[in-house]
Amino acid sequence: MKNKRAVIVFTRVPVPGKTKTRLMPYFTPKQCEQIHICLLKDIERECEQAAADIFVCYTPEDKEKKIRKIFGKEAKYFPQRGEDLGVRMYVAIKDILKMGYDSCILFGTDIPELHSTDMENAFRILETKDIVFGPTEDGGYYLVGMNEPHKEVFEKQSYGHASVMENTLAGLKEVGLQVGCIRELSDIDRKEDVIAFRQKMRENSKLQKTQTGKYLMRTTKISIIIPIYNEETTILAMKRQMEGLKDKCEVIFVDGGSTDRTLELLGDTFPVYHSDKGKAAQMNVGAKNSHGDILCFLHCDSEIPVTLVPEIRYVMKDHQAGCFGIAFHSKNFFMWTCRVISNHRIKDRKVMFGDQGIFVTRELFFEAGMFAELPILEDYQFSLTLKEKGIRLGMARHRIYTSDRRFPDGIIPKLKLMWLMNRLRKMYRDGVPIEKIASLYKDVR
C-alpha cells in the first residue's frame, strides 16, 4: 500500500514591514513583501510536483485570504499555534500526522533552491529513518520531517544562530533516534544572502527562471559613477541624461578640481564628491561612497542608450563584469575603424576601456583592488586584473557614443594617435615606468 504523505509549508503571510525584515533597509518593506511572495510562488510550483498533500501553516491568523491567492484551492490551510517557533512546528507536524498520514515534512519559505526532488528525497529517507533534516549553510535547517511526532527535535532549542543543527542532532543522538539528511541549501534572510544567490544565478541559469530569481535581477541596485574635470562643454548634456535615470539608480559625480564652470552648471541635483585629479582616484572615491550592487563608470562626454539600466541588468545576470560597445558620431573611416577594433577587443582580448562604460559587481570591484591609481591606463590595468582572475566579460547590446575630442583633425594625425595608444599599452605590458608613458599622452583638457 502506498504511503500517505503530506508537506507543510510553514510561513508568515507576506505583509510589508512584517516579513523578511532582516532584508531592510537594503530592500523597502514593499520589496520585502514581494520577495516573500516570489519565494512562496516558487515553493508552490515545486509542491505541485511532489506526490503529497499540501498544507499551509501560516501566521497571522487573520491573513489567510492573502495566502490562499498564492496556493489556491488544492492546498489546505491552518494557522500556527504555540508560544515559540519550536512549539509551533511540533504542533503543526503532530496535527497532520494525527490525520492519518504515514509521513510528513515541514519546511520554511526562504529557500529559493528548494526543489520537488528534495521533498522526494526527504520522504525516501523517512522509509528507513525516524527523522530527516534539510540543513542550511548557516548552521540551521530548512526542512524537518518524521513519521511520528518527536517532540525531542524541538525541545531545549533556540533558533536563529549557527548551532541549531548541531545542537538538535546531539540531542536526538542521546535518545537513540535515527536521523538522515538531504542536501544542504542556503536561505535568503540577509543582504549577503541575496548577493550570494545572484552569483549562483550566474552559474545556474535555471535559477534565473524562478519568480525569486527574476525579481532579484530586476531589483539589482546600480550606481553610476562619473569622474569630471573641466567638463564645461559636456556637463549639461550628461546632466540631462542622468536626470532621466535618477529614479532608477544612484548617480554620483566626482570632481577632480575643475577650474571652469563645470560645478556651477552641474548644480546640486546629484551628489558631488571631490578628489585629486585623475580618473582612477575619482572613480575610486565614487565607488567608496556608492551603495549599488553594480557599479557603472561613465565618462562625461558619453551619450548613453536609453536602455542603459535594463541592459546592464540583463548582462549581469550571467556575468560579473561587462561594458557597452563604443561608437562615434563621426563618419570618418578611421573613427569607424577605431570603433570596430575597440568592440572586437572586448570579445577577442578580454579588454575594455573606460569610454565603453565599464560595469562590475561591487564585490568584484573591491576584490580586484579598485582602479589602480595610475595617471593613465587605469582601465587597461583593471581589465588585465579581471583577465588574470578568469572573469568573463559581457557586452551590452547597444553602443555608447563618445566624443572624438581626443582625436586630432586629419587622417594622418588620427592614425598617429591610434598607433601611439597601441604603443603605450605595449610599453605598459613591458614594464616601462607609468610616468614615462603618461608623459607621451597629452590630456586634451
Mean pLDDT of the chain: 89
Give the pLDDT of residue 43: 96
Q: What is the pLDDT of residue 337?
A: 57
Report the amino acid identity of residue 335. M
In DSSP terms, which residues pair with 323 in a beta bridge? 395
Mean pLDDT on 196-217: 95
Residues 6+ apart with CB under 8 A from 296: 222, 223, 224, 225, 308, 312, 357, 358, 359
- For residue 394, the SS3 value is strand
SS3 (DSSP) at 311? helix
Look at residue 223 and give its three-state secondary structure.
Answer: strand
- Cell numbers that stand for 234 in this block: 559636456
pLDDT (tens digit per residue) in 82-121 = 988 999 999 999 999 999 999 999 999 999 999 999 999 9
Predicted confidence at residue 354, as pLDDT, reads 83
The angle subtended at Cα 56 by Cα 34 and Cα 162, nearest 5°, is 70
Return the pLDDT at 391: 95
CA 430 – CA 426 distance, rounded (Å): 6
Question: Which are the contacts of 225, defined by CB distance < 8 A and separation ≥ 6?
Answer: 252, 254, 283, 286, 287, 290, 295, 296, 297, 298
> Which pLDDT does position 161 carry in this prediction?
58
Closest CA to 138 of 91, 192, 177, 97: 192
Report pLDDT digits (tens) over 130-171: 999 999 988 889 999 999 999 988 876 666 556 788 888 888
> What are the tens digits of pLDDT across the range 352-367?
888 889 999 999 999 9
- The stretch 220-225 carries a mean pLDDT of 97
Q: Can you read off the three cell numbers belonging to residue 94? A: 503532530
* pLDDT at 419 (0 to 100): 61
**166-180, 236-250, 381-395, range with the lowest pLDDT:** 166-180
pLDDT surpassing 70 at residue 23: yes
Q: How far apart are CA 67 and CA 57, in angstroms?
A: 10
pLDDT computed for residue 174 by the predictor = 82
> Cell 543522538 maps to which residue?
173
| DSSP characters over 250-272 | EEEEEES---SSHHHHHTTSS-E
Dig out the grid coordinates for 363 from the structure. Answer: 564585490
Q: Please give the pLDDT value at position 445.
A: 46
- CATH number, span 5-189: 3.90.550.10
Outline which parts of the chain fall under CATH 3.90.550.10.
5-189, 220-439
Tell whether domain 220-439 is in CATH 2.40.37.10. no
pLDDT of residue 408: 47
CA 108/CA 110 separation, integer angstroms:
6
Contacts (Cβ under 8 Å, ≥6 apart) of 206: none
pLDDT of amino acid 128: 95
pLDDT-derived band at 404 (thresholds 50, 70, 90) equals low
Question: What is the model's pLDDT at position 235?
Answer: 97
pTM for the full predicted model: 0.87
- Stronger pLDDT, 102 or 2, i.e. the higher one: 102
